[in-house]
Amino acid sequence: MEIYIDGQYYAQNKAKISVFDHGLLYGDGVFEGIRSYNGRVFKLNEHLERLYESAHAILLTIPISITEMEQALLTTLQRNHLRDAYIRLIVTRGVGDLGLDPDKCPTPSIIIIADTIVLYPAEYYEKGLDIITVPARRNISEAVNPRIKSLNYLNNILAKIEGKQAGVVEVLMLNVDGHVVECSGDNIFYLKKGELVTPPTHVGILEGITRNAVINLAEKRQIKVVEKVFTRHDLYIAEECFLTGTAAEVIPVVKIDNRVIGNGTPGTVTKDLIHDFHQLTQTTGTQIY
């Protein structure tokens, strides 16, 4: 595996960053997880736009243009001979001192890692997930804004730990007001009376690229999509529920906090959207070669 670091490529065992990099010391930086399918990078423009917006929000100037970043990413895939891959694109504040001051970090660092990923086994897509609500609340926007895809992921990790201790692979997170926001790594949707509902961005979610793609697919099927604030009660009485994310894609949820959703199996709308999403990933995207 060849890994891109600041314009150079290194073998996996030689790819290193400084212990003084503020991405390591403080989680000061931003990242994207991106997928390629069948020789095409899925929603590359949207991912890069979100990366640069996240960087702008934390006053981090990425030292290369979006066009140059795109070329670096495609070249990384080419050098690793990958057509179906997961790409981790990272921009750190760069090397500084042991203090917090970002002005002591004159040069941000860019890292691109391309590999394969399997987040969930196939049976979870066929039978659905069992998830629970965890005590860890989602960060408030005035603290670490969830709309910024930052390297500071401890909030999500603590939620994941609580889920693992309870024996589940994904968990539901609420905001400080008790409203449903998202899962530790995925956005959430539910179906009720023909409407597909998902939380709006202002309640404390990351505006997912896969989330937005699924909204578009649902609308093409003439399914009404509503972004609104809701509670766990709405999920408990839903007809269907599913999660979306770059790594997870579209995955059904059949039980939440021991409440069976619908009839306890992946629903028709969920299955249709899984099919449509797979079709979309195989037929659209930025060509690698």
Which residues are designated catalytic?
A: 149
What does the DSSP 8-state code read for residue 140?
A: P
- Bridge partners (DSSP) of residue 132 are 171
R_g over Cα of the chain = 19
Q: Count the Cβ atoms, other than its own, within 10 Å of residue 15.
A: 16
Distance, in Å, from the CA atom of 149 to the CA atom of 155, rounded to the nearest integer, reads 12
Cα 195 to chain centroid distance, Å, stands at 24
Residues 6+ apart with CB under 8 A from 251: 120, 124, 125, 128, 129, 186, 242, 243, 244, 274
What pairing do the DSSP bridges indicate for beta strands 249-256 and 129-133? parallel
Residues 6+ apart with CB under 8 A from 216: none
Which residue is it, tokens 């996240």? 54
Distance, in Å, from the CA atom of 219 to the CA atom of 271, rounded to the nearest integer, reads 15
- Torsion (CA) 241, 244, 250, 251 in degrees, nearest 10: -50
**Are 5 and 15 a contacting pair, CB within 8 Å?**
yes
- Bridge partners (DSSP) of residue 196 are 191, 225
Q: Count the Cβ atoms, other than its own, within 10 Å of residue 254.
A: 22
